[in-house]
Structure 1
Amino acid sequence: MFIRRVSSTDMELVLLISLFLLTANTFGDGTGSDVTRLIVKEDDNAILMCSFPESIIDKMFDWKKQEDKKEVFFYNEGEHYNNGRSGQDEQFKGRVFHFEDQLVSGNASIVITKTQPGDSGNYTCDFPEDSPSRRANVELIIRASPKPYVTIINATKNGRALLECEVEGASPEPVVEWRDGAGNILHAEEPKVTKNKEKENSFNVILQIYVNKSDRYTCVSTQKKIDHQISNNIYVPINASNGMSTAAGGHIVGLIVGLVLLVLL
C-alpha cells in the first residue's frame, strides 16, 4: 500500500483527504477555469487531488502534465503504470503512486515523490470515458529557495569595494536586490540570470554592486510567485579618504616609517 511510502506528515494529509472525499469532489467545469494551486518544497512529496463522487475501481482516469503533454499516471480498471502498463514518461517512472485502497471512495489523487523544480507545471486529471468528460486542474509549484552567497570580489580601492551576491538553483526565478544597513534598495549592475544546468526549471542569479562606505550590506532574494524571501549579509569596512581599511592604512604607514629610518641609518 502507498501509505508506507510517505512521511508522517503526508500520512496525516492522506487521512484528511479521505474524510474530504466522503462529502466532496475536486472537479471543475472542464474548461480549466477551476485550478488548485499547490506549493511544495523541493524533495518533499506532492499530493495532487482529484476525486469522483462514487467508486472508480472500474473506471479510467488519466493524469497528464500539460506543458509538454507528458504521461504522469494512467489507470484503467485495475491496470496502471505501476503494475506493468507502458507509456509513462521517464520523468515520473517510480515516483508516482495512487491511493488504491481509496478507489472505492472515488479518490483518483496521486502522489509525486521526491519532487524537483522540473515537476513544476499544470496537471490535469481526466475521466475521458465520461460524458460530459470530467477534469481536475492542479498547478504544481516546486519551491527551491537557496540562501544567497555574498562575498567581496576585490579589496577596497579608490574608496569603494565590489560585492557579489550569488543565488544558485532557485525555483521559481527570484528577484535579487542589494540593500544597505538602513534597508534601502541600492542601484546595482544588471543581474546575470542563467538556467541551472543540473536542475530543470531552476535559475542561477549573480548580482554585483560597488559600495563606497562602511556598512552592513544585505542581498535579498524574493520569489514573488510564491511570496517567499530569503537573505544574507556581509559587513564591509571602507576608509573613505584612501579607499583602504584603517588596519591596512596603518600597516602601510608603519612600513614607510621603517624605510625612512633605514635610509637615515
Structure 2
Amino acid sequence: MFIRRVSSTDMELVLLISLFLLTANTFGDGTGSDVTRLIVKEDDDAILMCSFGPESIIDKMFDWKKQENKKKEVFFYQNGTHNNNGTSEFKGRVFHFEDQLVFGNASIVITKTQPGDSGNYTCDFPRDSPSRRAHIELTIQKILKDRTSEKIPGASPKPYVTIINENNDWALLECEVEGASPEPVVEWRDGAGNILPAEEPKVTKNKEKENSFNVILQIYVTKSDNYTCVSTQKKIDHQITNKIYVQLNRELPSGGMSTAAVATIVGLIVGLIGLVCGIVVARRRGKNNSGGRR
C-alpha cells in the first residue's frame, strides 16, 4: 500500500517511475487486492498509473472506470482507438500516454482535478486471461481559492477597497466585505504578500442575509506599493482578494514634483498669462482713446 503526492510539475518523473517500478504492490497482481493511494491538490494534474509488464498493449483493450454506486466511464482504449471524453464531469480532462503503450503503460492523467474527482478507480484488461485489474484510490485535497463561480451560499464577494484619506506621508485604506457566512478573516497584505498589522476589524451582522457578516478593516500605510485585501473562509475553502495601488507624493523619483507643487506652478502660470493679457488690453484701450481725442 503506497501513498503518493503528485503535482503537475511531477508528471514526467512519475511516468518514469511507472515504467520501471513494475512491482506487484504498486500495480497490482491481477487479483484486485492491492490499492495504490494517490493524494493530489485541487487544480493539479493526477496521474493514475496502470501497467502489468513491459509488453506492448497497442493492440489490446483496457478500460478505466470510477467505482461509485453507478460505475462511471473515465477512459476506454481498444486497438488504437479511444474515447477520452468519459462522462460529462471528465470531458476534455482525461488523456493517456500514447507513446508509452508500446512499453505496456496504460496510465492516464486527469487534468485540473476537482474535489468531485476523489474516489476509487479501476484499470481493467478484461480480454486478458486471466483478466488483470489495477486499483487507485484518489483523494483531492481542496485548496483556498476564489469559489464565487461555484455559487456557494455565504461565499464572500469581492472586497471593496478604497483610500479614505491621504497626504504626502501616509494613506488610510479601507476594505469592506459584505454578506459573508461563515464570518471571514480579513487581512491587508503588501506587494510582497506580507500580512500587515491593521486596526481591529469592525464586524456587524448583515441585515439582509441571515447569519452573515459585514467586515470593515482599515490600515495606515506609509510607502508606495500595491496593497491587497484578502477575505478568507477556511470552512468553505474560499478566498477572494482585491487590490489597490497607493502612490505617496513624498516617494516620487528624484527630480519629480508632487501634485500640489505642479498645481501651484500651473496656477502661477495661468495667473501670469491673465496679467499679461490684462496689460495688453489696457494698452490697446488707451491708444484707442488717445486717437479719438485727436
Name the structure where helix makes up a greater proportion of residues: 2
Report the TM-score, using the length of structure 1 for normalisation: 0.48
Report the TM-score, using the length of structure 2 for normalisation: 0.45
Higher relative contact order (CA 8 A, sep 6+): 1
Larger CA Rg, structure 1 vs 2: 2
